[in-house]
Amino acid sequence: MKNENYDLWSDGYRESVAQFNDMDEYPFAGYARVFGEVYRMVRQSDAKRILDIGFGTGIIAEKLYKDGYQITGVDPSEKMIAAGREVMPDAELLAADYSLGMPIELLDREYDMMISVYAFHRMDPYDQEHLLCDIIRQLAPGGQMIIGGLAFETYEDMKEMQRQNRDAWRYHGMYVLYSELNDIFSHVTWKKISECAGIVTITKE
């Protein structure tokens, strides 16, 4: 598996995500590349049981489902859940406000990997930490949490982006910050995708 070149946008996906083509400006710079990189990371791992937090339109979840992965998805939108069940009938999909922590229905599950793409930036740092603590308890040893989207390496990087995009700035007081998560959790890595997007990976010991 690790030597294959996995492409999220193959098999008709390019057309279905045409609206997500990269724009080289905040907040969309790196958008499609984040999805593609998270998908590649899952496929190059040995994970089989995947939890997708805030799966939305199912760009990654549906593709992984068709690839044969065991998918569990959480999203606050009943509409997204209904649409997901049409294309992933055997997946476990729950409508829940994940900013309040893991849904009680999933607390007895164990996952090899958690992914969340363009969802964590909507939560404040306290809710992010609370949810991540819940999730890490449910990861198998060596499991990973992969968080991609609007993210910055440091607080200073975020403030500089805010200064450059003052009129367009969104989600005040939120975003994912690698430096803060690195202070809380062990085994955290950072990959910069664009000036306003990146991927944080937390590995469970």
The pLDDT assigned to 164 comes to: 95
Using the predicted structure, report yes or no on whether residue 33 has a pLDDT greater than 80: yes
**What is the pLDDT confidence band of residue 16, given thresholds at 50, 70 and 90?**
very low
Domain residues for 177? Answer: 29-42+96-203
- Which amino acid makes up residue 153? E
End-to-end CA distance of the chain: 23
Q: Is residue 69 part of a domain?
A: no
Q: Is residue 14 part of a domain?
A: no
CATH number of the domain to which 156 belongs: 3.40.50.150
Q: Is residue 127 part of a domain?
A: yes
Using the predicted structure, report yes or no on whether residue 166 has a pLDDT greater than 90: yes
Q: Is residue 67 part of a domain?
A: no
Count how many residues are written for the chain. Answer: 205
- Comparing 57-61, 118-122, 170-174, the range with the smallest average pLDDT is 170-174
- Which residue carries 């955290």 as its tokens? 188
Query: What is the count of structural domains for the chain?
Result: 1
Sign of CA dihedral 40, 41, 43, 49: negative
Q: Convert the pLDDT of each residue in 51-79 to its tens digit.
A: 999 998 898 999 999 999 999 999 999 99
- Strand, coil or helix: 183: helix
Q: Is residue 9 part of a domain?
A: no
Cα–Cα dist 175/114, whole Å: 18
Cα–Cα dist 18/32, whole Å: 9
Cα–Cα dist 205/164, whole Å: 39
Cα–Cα dist 193/198, whole Å: 5
Cα–Cα dist 103/204, whole Å: 20
Q: Convert the pLDDT of each residue in 96-119 to its tens digit.
A: 999 999 999 999 999 999 999 999
Q: Is residue 109 part of a domain?
A: yes
Q: Is residue 188 part of a domain?
A: yes
Q: Is residue 89 part of a domain?
A: no
- Comparing 20-24, 138-142, 194-198, the range with the smallest average pLDDT is 20-24
Cα–Cα dist 185/202, whole Å: 7
Contact 162, 172 (CB under 8 A): no
